[in-house]
Amino acid sequence: MTAHFQEPYIPPEAPHPLPIAQAWALLGGISPKQFMKEYWQKKPLLVRGAIPAFNLAKAAGTPLASPLSFDELKQLANQKDVESRLVKSSPWSLEHGPFFSKKIPGLQERAWTLLVQGVNGHHPLAQRVMSWFRFIPEARLDDLMISIAGPKGGVGPHMDSYDVFLIQMAGRRRWKISAQKDKTLVKDLPLKILKNFKATDDWVLEPGDMLYLPPNMAHDGIALDGGCQTWSVGFRVPNYRELVNEILWRTTEALENDPALNKLYTDPDQAATLDPALVPEELVKVIRKQLNSLQWSKSDVSCTLAGILSEPKPQTVFYPPEDLLDLESFKKAIYQRGLELSPRSKSLYDKDFFYLNGESMSDSEAPDWAYWCELGKKQQLNNKKCSQLAALIDSEDNPWFESYQAGWLILKKA
């Protein structure tokens, strides 16, 4: 039998600004505002036909394939700068990539799943899908993972500590979910698989369907077809300890340059003591006073969070442009073509400072502030904006040019 070629689905680019007050097919006919109010971190949402193009093409007799092919995913899984895992369920095993193509089972082999992490940083179509969800703050967005599996492939019943949108892009997957509180795991396995999973809901998702799950919702997805692809948009969940520790650490760095704290302790009023091992009361009083004088303004906290949460993951690698332009050629190129964020870059800002990949780029008093903010909102600057920006880039140590050299910013395609 001859296999019929299927055109791949081409995800559309998200509009700017996103129409967050209007009903979206992606969210089952409700608006992002309504979704965030009624579902986000509260309850699951199953959306049939979240991507209408799949059902329309199927009805026309020309079903669509996933935007990324099996071969493309295998190529990604073979790269050192791409996080990938291979899970087999009979018996359970877990291997970490990179993987040679021969290592990955065929599409009709049973009970295996290939997980490719951070695909939005490596493929523009995955980045487009990721951009659909930018009605949720960038500080919370993490990455897009693609799982491809043979029949009966899955990673077992488990819980995630984060929200996730599960988009079916190829084949069918059966999802079972439960709001159970029992988190007991099967012992001596390389995966965190729930021992006493008891499903309360059971659905089969077809291409174009989507399932949203809030944190700690037990779920189990089993591929029903070879080549089953599920695209998972996941979210960051830093805990308070991590954030507070980081803020305190950065505060400590800032205090190193405080002249008042560089003074030596003095105690001219210290009396003679019969208990020399006792911590002096005056020392406690002075240090307590110094600690109580430390205050964090809203701006201190927000700009520090922007720096922390815009830092790339440790495994993220940026590559300089192959044909690196000098300063004047760069200014001419952005005037003609415009600029955009590298899909691996992350930008965040507050009312005072703009951060890119954990580094401060500009502040609200700087002449280029508005351009950085627009780049953060839209993830790109058109050539008209760049023609104005070019006049402000006057040296090779300018953050715009340095970010281009580092691969954090890239020229838009001509």
- For residue range 55-85, what is the model confidence (pLDDT) as tens digits? 999 999 999 999 999 999 999 999 999 999 9
Residue 404's identity, in one-letter code, is Y
On average, the pLDDT of the chain sits at 94
Mean pLDDT of 87-113: 96
* Residue 272 predicted with pLDDT over 60: yes
pLDDT bin (cut points 50, 70, 90) of residue 4 is: low
The reported pLDDT for the residue numbered 295 is: 81
Provide the CA 196 distance to its chain's centre, in angstroms: 31
Instruction: Express as a percent the part of the chain with pLDDT over 70.
Output: 99
Residue 352 has pLDDT above 60, yes or no: yes
State the SS3 of 73-131: HHHHHCCCCCCEEEEEECCEEEEECCCCHHHCCCCCCCCEEEEECCHHHCCHHHHHHHH
Contact partners, residue 119, CB within 8 Å, separation at least 6: 68, 76, 126, 143, 144, 145, 146, 231
For residue 390, is pLDDT > 70?
A: yes
At 318-341, the pLDDT tens digits run 999 999 999 999 999 999 999 999
Peptide bond connecting 17 to the previous residue in cis, omega within 30 degrees of 0: yes
Mean pLDDT across the stretch 104-125? 97
Nearest to 228 by CA among 272, 156, 172, 303: 172
pLDDT at 3 over 80: no
Angstrom distance (rounded) from CA 149 to CA 111: 8
**Residue 262 confidence class, pLDDT cut points 50, 70, 90:** confident
| pLDDT number for residue 2 | 44
What stretches of 258-350 adopt beta strand conformation (E)?
339-341, 347-349
Q: What domains can you pick out in the chain, each with its CATH number?
A: 25-235 (2.60.120.650), 327-411 (3.40.366.30)
pLDDT reported for residue 297: 84
Percent of the chain with pLDDT strictly greater than 90: 86
Nearest Cα residue to 176 out of 211, 214, 203: 203
- List the structure tokens of 327: 């300063």
pTM reported for the whole predicted model: 0.92
As a whole number of angstroms, the distance between CA 209 and CA 201 comes to 16
With H, G, I as helix, E, B as strand and everything else as coil, classify residue 72. Answer: helix
pLDDT digit string, tens, across residues 160-192: 999 999 999 999 999 999 999 999 999 999 999
